[in-house]
Amino acid sequence: MTPDDDKYRAPALDKGLDILELLAGIDGGLTQAEIAKRMGRNANEFYRMLDRLVRRGYVTRLDGDRYSLTLKLFGLAQLHAPVRRLASYATPLMRGLAEESRQANHVVVFDRGAAVVVAQQEAPGYFGISLRVGAHMGLFNTGSGHVLLAFRPRDERAMMIREYESANEGPAGQTPEFFARLDQIRDRGYEMMPSAQTAGVVNLSVPIMGADGNAIAALTIPYITLINLPAAPDISATIQLLQKTGRQLSELAGHELAA
C-alpha cells in the first residue's frame, strides 16, 4: 500500500474490523489480553472498542471475560443480496406449492433475535392464513422459529438464543424438554405444531438448507382444514408437498442432498 492509498485511514474503524476478523476465525472466543497479544497491541487499547461492539450486538461476552462474535453480521448478510436471491428463486416454487396444497406459505430467516418473513405466497382460493413480508415472529412459539433453531449447530443455536434474550431484554426460559423437541424436529426433518397465535391453524415447517448443511431459512405452511374443498390434500399429504419444495429450494441454495 502506498502513502496515497492510505491517506484516508480511519484507525478506530480499522481496529474494530481487525477485532471482528480475528474473532471470526476463533471458536470459544478470546479474552481482551489474548486479542491484544494476537494483534500485537496493548490490551488497554481495545477496552472501549470491545465495549462498543458488545453494546451494538456484534460481539458477546462469554463467561464474563471472553469475547466472541454474535450472529448479527450473519443476520445482516441474510437480509441483503442472498435473501433477495432466495426470495426470487423461491417465488415460482412457493406458487406451485400453494396451488398443489391449496394453502398459503412463507419463507422465514433469522435476524437479530427474531424470525423474519422475507417472502410469502397467498393461498389460491378464498381462504388462507398469510403473513406480510417483514413480519417478525418469535423463535420459541412458532414452527419457523423451531426449525431455524433445530437445524443450526449447537453453538450457533446458543448465540441465536442469546440474541433473542438481548432483543427481548429477558431470559428465554427454555427447558430440557424444549431442546429435546428441537432434536426430534431435526431427526424427522420438519415441525408440526398448533399455532400459538391463531386457533385452528397448524404450523408445518421445513428447513431450507445451505451449502454448509445448515438451515438458512424455514419454509412454512400455516395449515387450515379446508372443509369447502374436500379434494384438497390432507395434512399428511401437505407435509410431503412441503418437504418436496423444501428440498428443491435447498438444492437451489447449494445444498447437496444425500443419495
What architecture (CATH level 2) is domain 75-252? 2-Layer Sandwich (3.30)
**Tens-digit pLDDT profile for residues 222-258:** 999 887 777 889 999 999 999 999 999 998 877 666 5
- Dig out the grid coordinates for 222 from the structure: 400455516
Instruction: Output the pTM of the full model.
Output: 0.69
CB 39 within 8 A of CB 18: yes
What is the DSSP-derived secondary structure letter of residue 229? -
Q: What ranges do the domains of the chain cover?
A: 11-69, 75-252
- The larger pLDDT score, comparing residue 125 to residue 84, is at 125
DSSP strands (E only) in the chain = 30-31, 59-62, 66-69, 105-111, 114-121, 136-137, 191-194, 202-209, 215-223
**Tens-digit pLDDT profile for residues 154-179:** 888 888 888 888 777 666 667 889 99
**Tens-digit pLDDT profile for residues 185-194:** 999 999 999 9
| DSSP string across 112-171 | TTEEEEEEEE--SSS------TT-EE-SSSSHHHHHHHHTS-HHHHHHHHHHHHHHHTS-
- The larger pLDDT score, comparing residue 101 to residue 129, is at 101
**Tens-digit pLDDT profile for residues 4-17:** 456 667 788 888 88
Report long-range pairs for 235-239 (Cβ below 8 Å, ≥24 apart): 235/192, 235/202, 235/204, 238/101, 238/103, 238/204, 239/190, 239/192, 239/204
Nearest residue to 103 (alpha-carbon basis) of 188, 185, 201, 250: 201
Q: Would you place residue 83 in the very low, low, confident or very high pLDDT band (cuts 50, 70, 90)?
A: low
In CATH, what number does 11-69 get?
1.10.10.10
Mean pLDDT confidence for 56-63: 82
- Dig out the grid coordinates for 107 from the structure: 419463507
Is the pLDDT at 1 greater than 50? The verdict is no
- Please state, as a whole number, how many other Cβ atoms lie within 10 Å of the Cβ of residue 25: 7
- The larger pLDDT score, comparing residue 64 to residue 70, is at 70
Beta bridge partner(s), residue 209: 215
